[in-house]
Structure 1
Amino acid sequence: MCALTARRALVVGASRGLGLGLVARFLDRGWDVTATVRRPSAALSGLATDGRLRIEAGVDIDDDAAVTALRRTLADAPAFDLVFVVAGVATQAGTPAAAMPRAVATAVFQTNALSPIRFAEAFHARVAPDGLVVLMTSKLGSVSLNRGGGWSSYRASKAALNTLARSFAGQHAKAAWGVVLMHPGWVRTDLGGRRATLDVETSARGIVTVLERHLGQRGCVFLDHAGQTVPW
């Protein structure tokens, strides 16, 4: 990669919280960023001050037609050094899986596990050599760390994402890019809540640092915002 060429990131789900924080940090680090949102975000638009941020609205990862349209829109753009699917939900996370309506549980699984992999499959050909496909997960998806239960449907959806990501990486084992499953820490967002131990800026700064160091690596790893390996 030429040192005079800015790295390029596609951040999927950037209207607020960690997605918004990651866009801000990538821009601070000199990256060119394409950011997607379902609906226009004033906070995200406020970051578009110097031409290095491109915003694509109307993108819902659960909508295959919208993802296909995005791929078509970006077909002539340069390849991305990093494609990062941030979007996810924690609907009725405190409700035990056995008590959760089937439709809700299915929707959580679709958004948190299936849709990120479908997006990765749709965009892997747009990842530059030595780049990364990054999927936002959680250490709550670690089977070996699950000793106390709680948030069972959310845990299961992230464990499913981790497994699907391992399969995705295996299916593309000869690719010139790697896969990172990223645990951001417990972050004060709408999902993480007010009691969380990290602010968005701290988590985003750590994530971007870890990913910059991991560029050029192959295979599939499960890391946290500090660069530590999370047990599967």
Structure 2
Amino acid sequence: MRRRALVVGASRGLGLGLVVQFLARGWAVTATVRQPSAALADLAMGNRLQIEAGVDIDDDAAVADLRARLAEVPDFDIVFVVAGIATQAGTPAALLPREIVGAVFQTNAVSPIRFAEAFHRRVAPGGLIVLMTSKLGSVALNRGGGWSSYRASKAALNTLARSFAGQHEGADWGVVLMHPGWVRTDLGGRRATLAVETSARGMVGVLESRLGQRGCHFLDYTGEMVPW
């Protein structure tokens, strides 16, 4: 049977790169976007890519509607929530307007966990729920500061993910928090060391090797453990 992935936030960057890699490995992919994406539409070959537009992970009604629309689709081996923001990340959190800090935490920490809670029953036995995080969210590795609101939101995501995994102890799927590396995207910038293709190919390879494993793990795109 063909493996299936749900990639949430796939219009560009790493989300789009992940769709490309899953398709290249023969997976069937359901990809969500907030607005139609020409780059994603260009990948729509045969019947292995299903595109679902109008999905904003900060919108509970939109997530519930997606779940209803996918009710007849077979369960997913991987549900990968990619969406995230880094609004005014260079400004210290103490100097940011509260509404901006709140929005970063909602999108980067709370909404991915709410999405996971909404879709965990759609994960096939032995599958994975994958949440895009960053090693900037590692408390142990935070020695220089910088990007404080973004760091804190990813640290919060990591903590919420461990709580989510604990609350579902005994489930027949695992949770992976994935650090993609420093990637040349809108978020990573031009100075980043990795191409999207390199990071996405590595992440998909790591996830394929971890299908069937349970628990909650913080990994990078090469499969190395990242300190909490």
| TM-score (norm: length of structure 2) | 1.00
User: Separation in 2 of the partners of 1:44 and 1:140?
Assistant: 28
Report what 1:54 is aligned to: 50
For 1:228, which of 201, 224, 227 is the aligned residue? 224
Report what 2:174 is aligned to: 178
Per-residue CA shift, 1:178-219, capped at 9, x if unaligned? 000000000000000000000000000000000000000000
For 1:166, which of 123, 143, 162 is the aligned residue? 162
User: Separation in 2 of the partners of 1:103 and 1:159?
Assistant: 19
Give 1:164's aligned amino acid: L
Report what 1:82 is aligned to: 78
1:210 and 2:206 aligned: yes
Report what 1:200 is aligned to: 196
User: Separation in 2 of the partners of 1:39 and 1:94?
Assistant: 27
Q: CA deviation at 1:76?
A: 1.2
Per-residue CA shift, 1:42-73, capped at 9, x if unaligned? 00000001210000000000000000000000
Percent identity of paired positions between Structure 1 and Structure 2: 80
Residues 77-156 of structure 1 correspond to what in structure 2 (within 5 A)? 77-156=73-152
Give 2:190's aligned amino acid: R
User: Separation in 1 of the partners of 2:180 and 2:122?
Assistant: 25
User: Separation in 1 of the partners of 2:26 and 2:42?
Assistant: 17
Q: CA deviation at 1:123?
A: 0.1
User: Separation in 2 of the partners of 1:79 and 1:154?
Assistant: 32
User: Separation in 2 of the partners of 1:188 and 1:122?
Assistant: 31
SS in 2 for 1:175: coil
Q: CA deviation at 1:152?
A: 0.1
Q: CA deviation at 1:110?
A: 0.1
Unaligned runs of 5+ in 1: none
For 2:18, which of 15, 22, 27 is the aligned residue? 22
Give 1:89's aligned amino acid: I
User: Separation in 1 of the partners of 2:130 and 2:14?
Assistant: 14
User: Separation in 2 of the partners of 1:170 and 1:194?
Assistant: 38
SS in 1 for 2:68: helix
User: Separation in 2 of the partners of 1:109 and 1:148?
Assistant: 21
For 2:36, which of 27, 40, 45 is the aligned residue? 40
For 2:8, which of 7, 12, 35 is the aligned residue? 12
Q: CA RMSD in A?
A: 0.3
| TM-score (norm: length of structure 1) | 0.98
Unaligned runs of 5+ in 2: none
User: Separation in 2 of the partners of 1:21 and 1:82?
Assistant: 15
User: Separation in 1 of the partners of 2:211 and 2:192?
Assistant: 29
Q: CA deviation at 1:114?
A: 0.1
User: Separation in 1 of the partners of 2:19 and 2:46?
Assistant: 14
Q: CA deviation at 1:158?
A: 0.0
